[in-house]
Amino acid sequence: MYPARVTLVEVGPRDGLQNEATRLPVDAKVRLIAALAAAGLTRIEVGSFVRPDWIPQLADTDLVAQRAPKLPGVRYSALVPNRTGLDRAIASGLQEVAVFMSATESHNLKNTNKSVAESLQQFRGIVPAALKAGISVRAYLSTVWGCPYEGAVDAQRALEIARQLRDMGCGELSLGDTIGVGNPLQTRRILELFLEEFPPAQLALHLHDTHGTALANCLVGMEMGIATYDTSIGGTGGCPYAPGAAGNLATEDLVSMCADMGIETGIDLGKLLDAGALAQELIGHKLTGRRLQAALGRRAPGEARPAAST
């Protein structure tokens, strides 16, 4: 019923940090990436080659990519918005890049300053070039479950865009619940539609936990054969549309659930929690991941007070 094994794509060093006010130095990012790789994560998104004035937190992605520890079986990737970004990714020695766009016009315009058609046109120019350079390409399609500007999203429209991304050579499509409003029934309907045209191995889910439904949506994905999930250490990043709310699903929350269910991830939960503690220390505030906070609470000194629990 469930996949025997799932793969997690760790997006904390990119999607997490780009939404944190704290700007980590290169050394700190490399330490965090090393801790994530040591825990067994084999796919780690280390940054983004967007204009530094747009996302100053990730301006040093070239250096981070070059200094991330080179380990067998570990693949690093970064976002590339255009040809300049792709050239920087190639020069940094990355094995994978990701293009990104939204399923809705208004979010795509706010996020990339382009219409949906313009984004697709731009990617047609860079995806084949990446493949020719021996770099695999994943595509992010955001706002599939809901849009902060347009509300409900037409899944057929999202599928039309996805088809074009696939046809230009994107090997993996990551479907995003960017604002974290999806519910399990909706997830089933969206996946039923996509699975008519895509093999499950070509799809990944990028779920946010704003409303606390990310794990429930993951479970539906696993029931339907999806075996790749994007998560962020400690739930780093928050939600840019809902200050104070949870953002990306926390890596350790999904790893913990999978371990309890007997689903293999290849990740050592203890080492992952160490990486989460490091992320919280470096970022300097309490992160939203449930499993991390449970572990940190247990590690803290002090007596439990059973009378207070219900």
**Please, which of residues 71-130 interact with Mg ion by CB under 5 A?**
none
Cα distance between residue 48 and residue 80, in whole Å: 6
Shortest distance (Å) from residue 18 CB to Mg ion: 9
Query: What residues are labeled active site?
Result: 239
Out of 10, 15, 62, 252, the residue judged to bind Mg ion by CB under 5 A: 15
Query: Closer to Mg ion at the Cβ: 74 or 204?
Result: 204
Give the residue, chosen from 142, 248, 280, 293, that forms a contact with Mg ion under the rule CB under 5 A: 248
Q: Which lies closer to Mg ion via its Cβ, residue 15 or residue 253?
A: 15
E strand or H helix that includes residue 222: helix 214-223
Candidate segments 13-21, 47-55, 57-65, 166-174, binder of Mg ion by CB under 5 A: 13-21
CB of 39 to Mg ion, least distance (A): 20
Which DSSP letter does residue 5 get? B
Instruction: Note whether 6 and 227 are within 8 A (CB).
Output: yes
For the bound state, the minimum distance from the C-beta of residue 55 to Mg ion, rounded and expressed in Å, comes to: 13
**CB environment 253-287: b (16+ within 10 A), e (fewer):** bbbbbbeeeebebebbbebbbebbbbbbebbeeeb
Q: Is the distance from CB of 176 to CB of 144 less than 8 angstroms?
A: yes
Tell me: does residue 20 bind Mg ion (CB under 5 A): no
d(CA 234, CA 286): 9
The smaller minimum CB distance to Mg ion, of residues 15 and 252, is found at: 15
Binding residues for Mg ion, rule CB under 5 A, total 2
Q: Which residue stretch of 122-130, 188-196, 244-252, 276-284 sits at the interface with Mg ion (rule: CB under 5 A)? A: 244-252
- Closest residue by beta carbon to Mg ion: 15
Instruction: Pick the closer one to Mg ion by CB: 119 or 178.
Output: 178
Q: Dihedrals φ, ψ of 175, to 5°?
A: -90, 125
Angle at 78 between CA 256 and CA 109, to 5 degrees: 105
Q: How far is the CB of 277 from Mg ion (least distance, A)?
A: 22
Nearest 5°: the CA angle 177, 182, 188 is 100
204 neighbors 174 (Cβ within 8 angstroms): yes
CB of 176: closest distance to Mg ion in angstroms? 6
List of residues contacting Mg ion (CB under 5 A): 15, 248
